[in-house]
Structure 1
C-alpha cells in the first residue's frame, strides 16, 4: 500500500564536521543562480557535500518508492509533506530535534507547524517565504487594511481605454488559498480531524474572491487582461510594469523591484481582513524551504548535523543574505545586516516583521493537501464564472476531498 500510494502521488504530482567518508548527498529544488547560492551555503558548511540541483518533487518521490533516495532533500511543494509522512516515507525528527537542543520557541510563528503531521516533526525549514500585500505607492497612498477597503480600491484603480478594454487592474488575481486564508477560512478542524471546506468562513472567503473580481469588471474581463501577463520571475512581472496596482506576493520582490525597476516605489502590508474580524489583522501567508530525511536514509546523523547548523546564526545569515528568504529563527529577524545597507533592505525588513506576526499561517499539513488546494482553486473558479454558488462549490470540495482522506484513516 505504501509503495502504491507514493507512486500515485508521484504520477499526480563555516563548520567542517562532516568527514569525506560520510559525504552527504543532497537533492535540492533550486536551479540557475539560486542553485549557485545554495551551493555556496553547502561549501561554507562542508565542501565535500554533493548537491543535485533542480530536482522536482516527482523525481524525489520516485526515488523514495525505488528505495534509492538521497540523504537529504527539499520539497518544492510543501503540500506533499502530509502524504509522504502518512506513507512513512519520511523519518520523524522529534528525537533528533530535541537532542540537538533546538526549541520551538526559537522558530518564527508557523515555521514548524507546517513541518508537523499528526503531532510529529517531519521536516526542518531553512528560510521561509512570506506572502503579503504588495502595493504601488504611486497608485495607492495608504494600503487597505480590510477586504472592504481593498474592494473599493479595486473599483477605483481598474482603468479602461476608450473601447472599454482593461488597461490596469487594482488587484492581480491572487492564489485562492491565500485569499481564503486572509478572509479567515477554516480548512481543517484539529480536534475532530475533519475537513471544514464548507465552513461559513470559507464560504465567505469564496464570496470575497468573486466580489474582488466583480469590482474590477467581472471575472472574464479580468482573466482576459491577465492572460497577457508574463512570468513573475523577472523584469516582466506585471506588477513591476504598473499593470496591477496591488498583488499578493513574497519577499523576493524587495530585491527585484530595485533590480528591475530602479526608482519604482512599492509598499508592503499585511493581507487585508474582513472588517468584522479585526482579530485577523496582521495576516501573512507562509511557504517554506522544507528539508526532509528519507525513512530509509543511511546518513541520518550526518544529514541532521547540517540541518542543525542551518538553524545557527551563521547558517541562517549565510543563506538569507544571498537567497533573500526570510529567516525562520526569530533571533535572526532583527539582524541589522538584513535590514540596512542596500537600498532594498528596508523594504525586505517589512517582510521580516510580518513573518513574526502571530497571524502568520499556512495551509494545514494533510495527506490530501495537494488535492484539497486544487479543489479549492477550482471551486473559486466555478464561483467566479457564475457556474456554482459558494455553498454548492465548497460542499462538493468537502465531499470529494473527505472521501480521499478516508483512505488515510
Structure 2
C-alpha cells in the first residue's frame, strides 16, 4: 500500500498531540489550608510533580475558603464534578458515605504496610462500617498548656491541680486571675472530662447515650469546679481564654495546637498531658482526637494516580514537610522518630496526648448532637436545669433528629460548628 508523502509528519504530529494530552492530565486536589499549612502542601505537591515522568499525571491544587469547603464538596461531588482528591475532617465521613457514595472506598488499594503505618486511632477515624474511605493526614487533640512563671510544674492529677490552684490564689490579690481557663461550656472541650468518667455519646448500634449516668457525673464535677473561687472564669470563651493566658492571668489552659499561634511573645509556656481525674478513680482526662484525611472522589477519572498521590502525601515525604513547615501533627507514626520532630516540644507533646484520646465519632448522627449538647451545657452552667434533666432533654432532642435522619426526612445533615481549627 502506497502511503501519502506526508504520513510521517502526520504520525509525528499525532504522537506530539497524544504526549501533550498525557502531560495535560491532572489530579485536582481541593483543600482549605492557609498560611504555613498551605505553603507546606504546595511544597509537597511541587516535589511530587517534579518526580513524575514527562507523561505522568500532574497534581493541581485549588484552595477553597475553609468556611465553605465542606458544603462545596457536597454540592459538587453529588453532581459528579469537583476534585479528584480532597482533604476533609473526619466528622463528615459518615454523612458523605450514607448520603450518596461521594467517596471511593480505598480497601482495594491498601496493603498491610500502609494500614499499619499510622498513629493508632487515625485510620480508625477514616473508617466507616468496616471500609477505609481516606488516608489520615494529621490529627489534633486538646492538651495542657501552662505558664511556667505562674506554675513551674504542671499538675498530674485533679487533686494536684486543685492544691496548686489554691496556693496560686492565696498568693495573689488580683481578683481577675484564674488558675485554669478553657471553654468548658463547649461540649467539644467538655468531652475530655466526660470520657474520664466513662461517658460517651453513642452506645453500639449506634444508639444515642447523652443521658448516660457517667455523663451526668462529669457535669456534676464541672459544677464543683465552677463554684470554686478563682479556679475557672465565670463566662468562658475562646477569646477570653487567650486574653487571660497572654496577660498572665491564667496559669494554664486546656487547648490544642491551634492555641499555640495565639500565645503572646515573651510567655514562657510548656505542654503536658492532661491530668488524671481523682473523682473518676484516677482515669485520665481523655479528649477527642480530630483527624483530617485525604479522600478520593468516587467520580474521579484518575483513581490510580489519585491514590498514588494520597499515599505520597500521607507517607514519609509528605509528613516531614507538613510537620516542620506546616506545623501539623502528621498521622504517620514513623515521622516521630525523626530528631527534628522528637525535639519539637509542641509536636511531641501533642503526639503523647494522642495516646490518651478517643477518635471523634464520624457517624452521620454526630452532626445532630452538637446543638442539643450545647444547650444542655448552657442550661446546667446557668443553673436552669440539673445535669440529669438537661441531658435527658438533650437525649430526647437528638433521638428525634436521628429518627428523622434515618427515615430520610431530614436530607443531608448540616455541617456542625468547626471544633478544631
TM over 0.5: yes
Q: For residues 244 and 383 of structure 1, do their structure 2 counterparts lie closer, same or farther at Cα, with a shift above 3 Å needed?
A: same
Alignment partner of 2:143: what SS? strand
Q: Counterpart of 1:10?
A: none
Q: Counterpart of 1:396?
A: 393
User: Which runs of structure 2 are paired with 1:2-401 in the superposition (5 Å)?
Assistant: 20-46=23-49, 48-55=58-65, 56-75=69-88, 77-87=89-99, 88-98=101-111, 101-153=112-164, 157=168, 166-174=176-184, 175-184=186-195, 185-190=199-204, 192-216=205-229, 222-223=234-235, 226=237, 229=240, 238-251=244-257, 260-262=264-266, 264-277=267-280, 280-281=283-284, 283-340=286-343, 345-355=344-354, 357=355, 359-401=356-398
Alignment partner of 2:82: what SS? coil
* Paired residues of 2:191 and 2:288 also in contact (CA < 8 A): no
Distance 1:378 1:385 in 2: 11
Distance 1:245 1:143 in 2: 9
Distance 2:157 2:310 in 1: 39
Q: For residues 255 and 61 of structure 1, do their structure 2 counterparts lie closer, same or farther at Cα, with a shift above 3 Å needed?
A: same
Q: For residues 329 and 34 of structure 1, do their structure 2 counterparts lie closer, same or farther at Cα, with a shift above 3 Å needed?
A: closer
Alignment partner of 2:379: what SS? helix
Question: Shift in Å at residue 253 of structure 1?
Answer: 5.2
Question: Shift in Å at residue 226 of structure 1?
Answer: 4.7
Question: Shift in Å at residue 153 of structure 1?
Answer: 4.8
Higher alpha-carbon deviation: 207-216 or 82-91: 207-216
Instruction: Give the gaps of 5 or more residues in structure 1.
Output: 1-18
Question: Shift in Å at residue 273 of structure 1?
Answer: 3.4
* Paired residues of 2:137 and 2:332 also in contact (CA < 8 A): no
* Paired residues of 2:107 and 2:132 also in contact (CA < 8 A): yes
Alignment partner of 1:388: what SS? coil
Instruction: Give the gaps of 5 or more residues in structure 2.
Output: 1-21, 51-57, 408-421
- Structure with the greater alpha carbon radius of gyration: 2
Q: Counterpart of 1:5?
A: none
Distance 1:202 1:215 in 2: 21
Question: Shift in Å at residue 150 of structure 1?
Answer: 3.7
Question: Shift in Å at residue 25 of structure 1?
Answer: 0.7
Question: Shift in Å at residue 276 of structure 1?
Answer: 4.7
> Could you tell me the TM-score, scaled by structure 1's length?
0.80
Distance 1:313 1:227 in 2: 34
* Paired residues of 1:152 and 1:215 also in contact (CA < 8 A): no
The alignment of Structure 1 onto Structure 2 pairs a total of residues equal to 370
Question: Shift in Å at residue 401 of structure 1?
Answer: 1.5
Q: For residues 362 and 244 of structure 1, do their structure 2 counterparts lie closer, same or farther at Cα, with a shift above 3 Å needed?
A: farther
CA RMSD of aligned residues (A): 3.0
* Paired residues of 2:194 and 2:200 also in contact (CA < 8 A): no
Distance 2:371 2:146 in 1: 27
> Could you tell me the TM-score, scaled by structure 2's length?
0.78
* Paired residues of 1:173 and 1:247 also in contact (CA < 8 A): no
Distance 1:226 1:402 in 2: 29
Higher alpha-carbon deviation: 277-286 or 39-48: 277-286
Question: Shift in Å at residue 111 of structure 1?
Answer: 0.7
Alignment partner of 1:95: what SS? coil
Question: Shift in Å at residue 200 of structure 1?
Answer: 1.4
Distance 2:211 2:285 in 1: 24
* Paired residues of 1:80 and 1:369 also in contact (CA < 8 A): no
